[in-house]
Amino acid sequence: MQEFNIHGNIFKRIREDRGLKLKDVAGDVISTRTLIRFEADETSVTLATFDRLLNNCGIGYIDYFGYLHKNHKSETEILSEKFLKLLSESNRSGLVTESIKLLKRDEVSFELRVFIEFFLFKIRWERNSELLLENERIVKEHLKNIGRFSLNELLAFLLILSTATVEDFSIDYVSRIIEEGMEYLVPENQYDQILGTYYIDILINGVGFLTRNGELERAEKYCNKALKILNEKRSLPYVILFIRHIKGVLLPKIYLSQNKVEGVEMANKYMKYLEAVIEFDDLSEYKLSRDALHKEFYELNKTGISFDF
Q: What is the pLDDT, as a whole number, of residue 111?
A: 94
139/96 same-domain check: yes
pLDDT in tens, 98-155: 999 999 999 999 999 999 999 999 998 887 899 999 999 999 999 999 989 998 999 9
Q: How many domains does the chain have?
A: 2
pLDDT tier at 2, thresholds 50, 70, 90: very low
Residues 91 and 109 in one domain: yes
Sign of CA dihedral 268, 274, 279, 284: negative
Claim to verify: residue 86 and residue 122 sit in the same structural domain = yes
Same structural domain, 85 and 137: yes
Does 135 reside within a domain?
yes
Mean pLDDT of 70-96: 92
**Mean pLDDT, all residues of the chain:** 93
Co-location of 49 and 112 in the same domain: no
CATH value at residue 13:
1.10.260.40
Cα–Cα distance measured from residue 305 to residue 308, given in angstroms and rounded to the nearest whole number: 10
* Residues 6 or more apart whose Cβ sits within 8 Å of residue 109: none
Domain membership flag for residue 239: no
Percentage of residues of the chain with pLDDT beyond 70 = 99
Does 101 lie in the same domain as 42? no
Among the three residues 145, 165, 194, which one is the final residue of a domain in this structure? 145
Q: Which of 82, 116, 145 is the last residue of a domain?
A: 145
45 and 83 in a single domain? The answer is no
Distance CA 263, CA 184 (A): 28
> What percentage of the chain carries pLDDT values higher than 90?
79
**Alpha-carbon 100 to chain mean position:** 24
> Reduced to 3 states, what is the DSSP secondary structure of residue 117?
helix
User: Which domain covers residue 88, as residue numbers?
Assistant: 74-145
Whether 228 is covered by a domain: the verdict is no
Nearest residue to 269 via CA among 238, 237, 297: 297
Residues 81 and 67 placed together within one structural domain of the fold: no
User: Is 25 contained in some domain?
Assistant: yes
The answer, yes or no, to whether residue 48 has pLDDT greater than 80, is: yes
Q: Is 235 contained in some domain? A: no
264-280 pLDDT per residue, tens? 999 999 999 999 999 99
pLDDT score at 195: 86
Task: Identify the DSSP state of 301.
Answer: -
Residue 231 CB neighbours (<10 A): 10
Domain end position, chosen among 111, 145, 179: 145
- Whose CA is closest to 199, among 148, 252, 145? 148
Integer Cα distance of 296 and 108 in angstroms: 40
Closest listed residue to residue 28, CA positions, set 56, 58, 57:
56
CA distance 72 to 65: 10
1 pLDDT band (50/70/90 cuts)?
very low
Nearest-angstrom CA–CA distance, 123 and 87: 8
Say if residue 100 is in the same domain as residue 141. Answer: yes
What are the pLDDT digits (tens) for 186-236? 888 877 888 888 999 999 999 999 999 999 999 999 999 999 999 987 777
Domain shared by 88 and 138, yes or no: yes
Q: DSSP alpha helices (H): ranges in the chain?
A: 7-17, 22-26, 32-39, 47-57, 61-71, 75-88, 92-103, 110-122, 130-144, 151-161, 171-182, 190-212, 216-231, 239-245, 251-257, 261-281, 284-300
Whether residue 63 lies inside any domain: the answer is yes
pTM given for the model: 0.82
pLDDT, position 74: 85
**50 in Cβ contact with 8 (< 8 Å):** no
Over residues 80-97, the mean pLDDT reads: 95
Do residues 61 and 86 share a domain? no
